[in-house]
A and B are shown apart, each in its own frame.
Chain A
């Protein structure tokens, strides 16, 4: 097996590099730092090593070793379950929950990223193996392998890149008002706020935006409750929410104008900065599970005319 170190090592390194390049520790704190991050790096390393072992195993006529790849697929399905379970478990502790759709999306992306690491490793090892079979120098084949690896990382990353709300909708400032006890955003009734002091706080500290879908696809995507919950969660964690468990009045809300499908988001924030809220909403991920494409169907297109 040591004969194949020139295949195994570069492909392992590139596989791991692809996983690392997709591991971001940011404001979301998911994966949380440092423990969950470490476990994801380890899983990425396992994925990369499994991917890089496949070709040397075939070359060494160790066919049983390839069955390990199926084991790997099982392993990464477990990653998804693991992520889902742990996020589900902490969900009741969130002031503004992520929502099950967002959790599913996070879990899915963790699984997919491990596959990307594995595919990168396989591609690199195939490239090195083929070029060495063409009687190229080891160094040259490794360089070719690295080149292929970088191309595949960029390509795959681009392939699994997600869209943002800002790409499918316009976000504008909206006006908070009260019609008796009814909280309204641009004239759309959001909810009934009975307590006088709460209404004053809404006027003083509340910020609201109107999310205007750009086409029929985004219209039905944004109508999804999971997508809306994800937007409120993002807004709440980034702006800082002025709410505690005994103040349900200030729960951030998104309501849909059922006449034209526009969404109204209202949040009572610690930092009521409208510019920031608009950017936050624009930078919220469009969840894969809430994506709808009625315009791709014949009758959907017809109906949209």
Chain B
């Protein structure tokens, strides 16, 4: 049986420390946009999930 978390935010990658408050989801703080994309891609590949851009310097990783 294939069980996993779907349609929920798996991780948040951001350069904007003010935008995200730590909580139930792992948050990765990075320094710039390039690093943000790289980190997000790495997480997305491992979790087989998709990167969504919230337009406020935050990426969320969601598995659908």
B40-A194 in contact (CB<8A): yes
Cα-based distance from A263 to B2 in the complex (angstroms): 31
A195-B44 in contact (CB<8A): yes
- A195-B40 contact in complex given A181-B55, A248-B49, C-beta closer than 8 Å: yes
A163 interface residue (CB < 8 Å to B): no
- Give the residue name and chain of the A residue nearest to B58 (CB): A194
A192 interface residue (CB < 8 Å to B): yes
Q: Within B43-64, which residues are at the interface with A (CB < 8 Å)?
A: 44-45, 48-53, 55, 59-60, 63-64
B41 CB to nearest chain A CB (Å): 6
Pick the residue among A181, A193, A248 that contacts B64 (CB under 8 A). Answer: A248
Assign chain A's interface to a size class. Answer: 10 to 19
B35: chain A residues at CB < 8 Å are none
Q: Which of A193, A194, A249, A251 has the most CB of B within 10 A?
A: A194
- Give the residue name and chain of the A residue nearest to B13 (CB): A194
A26 interface residue (CB < 8 Å to B): no
B49: chain A residues at CB < 8 Å are 248
Q: Which of B40, B45, B53, B64 has the most CB of A within 10 A?
A: B53
A90 interface residue (CB < 8 Å to B): no
B6 CB to nearest chain A CB (Å): 11
A249-B50 in contact (CB<8A): yes
A247 CB to nearest chain B CB (Å): 9
- A245-B44 contact in complex given A92-B2, A181-B55, A196-B37, C-beta closer than 8 Å: no
B48-A194 in contact (CB<8A): no
Q: Which of B48, B49, B52, B59 has the most CB of A within 10 A?
A: B52
A180 interface residue (CB < 8 Å to B): yes
For the residues of B in contact with A, the DSSP-based class is mixed
B40: chain A residues at CB < 8 Å are 194-195
B37-A180 in contact (CB<8A): no
Assign chain B's interface to a size class. Answer: 10 to 19
* Chain A proximity mask over B21-45: 1 for CB below 8 Å, otherwise 0: 0000000000000000100110011
Pick the residue among A180, A193, A246 that contacts B45 (CB under 8 A). Answer: A246
Cα-based distance from A251 to B63 in the complex (angstroms): 12
B36 CB to nearest chain A CB (Å): 10
* Chain B proximity mask over A189-211: 1 for CB below 8 Å, otherwise 0: 00011111010000000000000
Cα-based distance from A251 to B55 in the complex (angstroms): 22
B48-A192 in contact (CB<8A): no
Cα-based distance from A70 to B27 in the complex (angstroms): 64
B52: chain A residues at CB < 8 Å are 181, 192-194
B45-A194 in contact (CB<8A): no
B55 CB to nearest chain A CB (Å): 6
B45-A181 in contact (CB<8A): no
A289 CB to nearest chain B CB (Å): 24
Residues of A in contact with B (beta carbons under 8 Å apart): 92, 180-181, 192-196, 198, 245-246, 248-249, 251
The 3 residue pairs across chains A and B that have the minimum distance between CB atoms? A181-B53, A194-B51, A194-B53
What are 14 A-B contacts defined by CB distance under 8 Å?
A193-B53, A194-B40, A194-B50, A194-B52, A194-B53, A195-B37, A195-B40, A195-B51, A196-B37, A198-B51, A246-B44, A248-B48, A248-B63, A251-B64
Known: A192-B52, A195-B41, A248-B63. 9 other contacts (CB 8 A): A181-B52, A181-B55, A194-B59, A195-B51, A196-B37, A245-B48, A248-B48, A248-B64, A251-B64
